[in-house]
Amino acid sequence: MNHELLPPFPLSRPRRLRQSPALRRLVRENPAGAGQLILPLFVRAGRRQRLPIDAMPGVCQLSPDEAVKEATQAYTAGVPAVLLFGIPERKDDRASGAYAAHGVVQQALRLLKQELPDLLLATDVCLCEYMRHGHCGIIRPGSRDARVLNDPTLKLLARTAASHAEAGADLVAPSDMMDGRVAAIRAALDRAGFADTPIMAYAAKFASAFYGPFREAAESAPQFGDRRGYQMDPANALEALREVALDIREGADLVMVKPALAYLDILHRVKSTFGYPTAAYAVSGEFAMIKAAAARGWIDERAITLESYLALRRAGADMVITYAAKEIARWLQEAS
Ligand code: PBG
């Protein structure tokens, strides 16, 4: 900005443009509509099942038929996409539920595609929900060491992504943080005839305490150790840029920063450095904190949720993954 071209200070009256809703709308830099929202859904086997998750009020584990109902409501309110997580009936040490042709995510994909053909179906590609030990990849058999074996894990991730595409996924989102997973998944998708299926990489995913409620929701807490051997150190920003660069080189079409509100600096740097389509994931702990304070009457849930959404857009998110997607979309409808 060339400051010499600006009018002298006394003439500048920014409030002129804040006088009415219409003026404020005209000059809004980062409109945040329903069209930029993605709703995560937890699917489990069965029919007519809705199992509430304690630390995430209003969020349930859903059987595929109930997932269709939930997705229909969100879609009707204007949310264009859902992101599926699976809770399998059985876990093992090879995550077989993740890539089973009739796994729970695969079943939900087929049903959702049939019932809501225009809804965008994204899937989380990870192994932790399907592994007995709860880690995101393969652990040396019999070991209680949380060091996940990188390259053997890639094969299973690639297989999982291909099986999601086969079942109808429009977009796959690897969240495991193994090195080289985007390239492995891209190759597997291409080989299976899904060259047009985009990859949304959880590129800068931090080892965060904000994932606590999710692990209850997805029954995926690690049984020993933690995820710091594969997810990023919350102290690091430059490394996040390197992670994003790698994922883009390997073929990511969209990149993600996760968590969201505590990582606005990362989001901003990722968007301004790469200019790629960028997603922010407002994670379970962020959602739970707002719900808990709102339940006590300490904060205005609607105002804080909408403000948080705007903040993510302003920081550089093209799209936001949030458990509040349906509510946000409805509030926006009411307001317009
Ligand atoms: C799977 C995965 C996790 C989340 C998204 N994908 C959990 C984790 O990494 O422990 C967290 C989402 C949330 O907290 O809302 N690896």
User: What is the tens place of the pLDDT at every residue in 1-30?
Assistant: 677 777 666 667 889 889 999 999 898 888
Catalytic, out of 69, 113, 155, 258: 258
First to last CA, the chain: 34
Please choose, from the candidates 187, 218, 213, 181, the residue with its C-alpha nearest in 3D space to the C-alpha of residue 200: 181
* CA gap 68, 55 in Å, rounded: 23
Tokens of 215: 């692990």
Cα 334 to averaged position of ligand 1 atoms, centre (Å):
31
- Ligand 1 probe mutation, 211, 227, 231, 261, most atoms within 8 A of CB: 211
Domains of the chain in sequence order: 31-335 (3.20.20.70)
What local confidence, expressed as pLDDT, does residue 316 receive?
98
* CA gap 56, 59 in Å, rounded: 6
Please choose, from the candidates 64, 220, 228, 47, the residue with its C-alpha nearest in 3D space to the C-alpha of residue 147: 228
- Ligand 1 probe mutation, 214, 257, 261, most atoms within 8 A of CB: 214
Cα 41 to averaged position of ligand 1 atoms, centre (Å):
12
Please choose, from the candidates 209, 285, 276, the residue with its C-alpha nearest in 3D space to the C-alpha of residue 249: 276
pTM listed for this prediction:
0.95
Please choose, from the candidates 39, 53, 40, the residue with its C-alpha nearest in 3D space to the C-alpha of residue 219: 53
* CA gap 154, 158 in Å, rounded: 6
Find where tokens 């019999």 sit. Answer: 142
Cα 89 to averaged position of ligand 1 atoms, centre (Å):
19
Q: Which amino acid is at 108?
A: A
* CA angle at 121 for the pair 119 and 124, rounded to the nearest 5°: 155
Ligand 1 atom 14: residue of nearest CA: 211
Cα 193 to averaged position of ligand 1 atoms, centre (Å):
28
Whether the CB-CB separation of 46 and 63 falls below 8 Å is answered with yes
- The verdict on whether 113 is a catalytic residue reads no
| Residue 60 DSSP SS3 | strand
Catalytic, out of 91, 113, 155, 205: 205
- Ligand 1 probe mutation, 53, 82, 83, 126, most atoms within 8 A of CB: 126
Cα 165 to averaged position of ligand 1 atoms, centre (Å):
21
Whether the CB-CB separation of 290 and 234 falls below 8 Å is answered with no
What local confidence, expressed as pLDDT, does residue 11 receive?
66
Find where tokens 């009020």 sit. Answer: 57
Cα 214 to averaged position of ligand 1 atoms, centre (Å):
6
Which ligand 1 atom is the nearest neighbour of the CA of 222?
10
Question: What pLDDT, in 10s, does the model give residues 21-55?
Answer: 999 989 888 889 999 999 999 999 999 999 999 99
Q: What is the DSSP string of 185-217?
A: HHHHHHHTT-TT--BEEEEEEB--GGGHHHHHH
Which ligand 1 atom is the nearest neighbour of the CA of 210?
14
Which ligand 1 atom is the nearest neighbour of the CA of 214?
14
Q: Which amino acid is at 162?
A: A
- The verdict on whether 326 is a catalytic residue reads no
Q: Which amino acid is at 219?
A: E
Tokens of 44: 């489990």
| Residue 163 DSSP SS3 | helix
What local confidence, expressed as pLDDT, does residue 304 receive?
98
Per-residue pLDDT tens digits of the chain, which is 336 residues long: 677 777 666 667 889 889 999 999 898 888 899 999 999 999 999 999 999 999 999 999 999 999 999 999 999 999 999 999 999 999 999 999 999 999 999 999 999 999 999 999 999 999 999 999 999 999 998 888 889 999 999 999 999 999 999 999 999 999 999 999 999 999 999 999 999 999 999 999 999 999 999 998 888 999 999 999 999 999 999 999 999 999 999 999 999 999 999 999 999 999 999 999 999 999 999 999 999 999 999 999 999 999 999 999 999 999 999 999 999 999 999 987
What local confidence, expressed as pLDDT, does residue 146 receive?
85
What is the helix (H) or strand (E) element at residue 155, kind and residue range? helix 150-167
Ligand 1, residues at Cβ distance < 6 Å: 124, 126, 128, 136, 175, 211, 214-215, 227, 283-284
